[in-house]
């Protein structure tokens, strides 16, 4: 993981284990949770293995719990669960910039309070402050990612709708997105992955819309 082209993994379901070495469960967990709920970019790390560190630069979240034990994936202890308000986002920044080669993969589920249409409109994008100026890729919605995934796997187009309905119903669902789909400029090195509401697609956006409630696990980019 120490090389930009190596696998960059966020084992978010194991946050409890990764933090246990630094703090006992209880006071340490509360401190981490408070920092992640902050809108300040100077929050503590949510994952670190000595070579790679990820921090939350999120905004517009009405809740964020990196160790939610409510409905984790089978075999896992917890998941990252959040509620994204309109124009808000989960934004994770890496200490090691990386090229957009290979694929982005993660598991996602809703909690039963958000519709398939609402979850499908969530956007993903990569951002960079390297080498000297801010840059951003085009965004891809969750619905677009599932449609592309169905095509790549030779599945019927209706598969994407079925997967999205399953996510809305609370089923853990794997998502795999080719990083080339984000159409970055030549030489682009990302250091942030952002999942949010109304990032670039503003048609139909309203500040009065309900928050999109989701859980994530096993977020990884593989080159």
* CATH label of the domain that carries residue 156: 2.60.120.430
Residue 19 tokens read as: 């933090």
Closest CA to 147 of 136, 135, 161: 161
| Model confidence, pTM | 0.79
Number of domains in the chain: 1
Please report whether residue 3 resides in a domain. no
Please report whether residue 2 resides in a domain. no
Q: 212 and 111 in contact (C-beta within 8 Å)?
A: no
pLDDT value of position 137: 95
Q: Is the pLDDT of residue 29 over 60?
A: no
pLDDT value of position 26: 34
Q: 118: part of which helix (H) or strand (E)? A: helix 116-120
User: Cβ contacts of residue 64 below 8 Å, gap of 6+?
Assistant: 33, 36, 37, 56, 58, 80, 81, 82, 83, 90
Percent of the chain with pLDDT over 90: 49
Give the domain extent around 190. 8-222
User: Cβ contacts of residue 82 below 8 Å, gap of 6+?
Assistant: 58, 61, 63, 64, 65, 90, 213, 214, 215, 216
| Cα–Cα distance measured from residue 126 to residue 208, given in angstroms and rounded to the nearest whole number | 26
| Cα–Cα distance measured from residue 21 to residue 200, given in angstroms and rounded to the nearest whole number | 39
Segment 114-133 shows an average pLDDT of 88
């Amino acid at each position: 993981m120490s090389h930009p082209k190596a696998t960059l993994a966020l084992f978010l379901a194991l946050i409890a284990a990764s933090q246990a070495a630094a703090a006992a469960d209880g006071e340490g967990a509360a401190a981490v949770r408070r920092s992640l709920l902050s809108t300040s970019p100077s929050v503590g790390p949510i994952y670190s293995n000595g070579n790679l560190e990820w921090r939350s630069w999120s905004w517009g979240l009405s809740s964020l719990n990196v160790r939610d034990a409510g409905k984790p994936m089978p075999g896992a202890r917890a998941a990252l669960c959040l509620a994204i308000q309109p124009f808000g986002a989960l934004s994770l920044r890496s200490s090691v910039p990386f090229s957009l080669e290979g694929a982005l993969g993660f598991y996602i589920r809703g909690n039963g309070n958000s519709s398939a249409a609402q979850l499908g409109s969530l956007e993903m994008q990569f951002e960079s402050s390297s080498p000297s100026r801010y840059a951003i890729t085009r965004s891809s919605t969750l619905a677009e990612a599932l449609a592309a995934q169905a095509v790549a796997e030779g599945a019927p187009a209706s598969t994407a709708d079925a997967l999205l309905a399953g996510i809305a119903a609370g089923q853990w669902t794997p998502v795999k997105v080719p990083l080339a789909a984000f159409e970055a400029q030549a030489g682009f090195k990302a250091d942030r992955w952002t999942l949010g509401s109304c990032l670039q697609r503003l048609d139909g956006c309203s500040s009065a819309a309900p928050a999109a409630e989701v859980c994530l696990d096993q977020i990884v980019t593989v080159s």
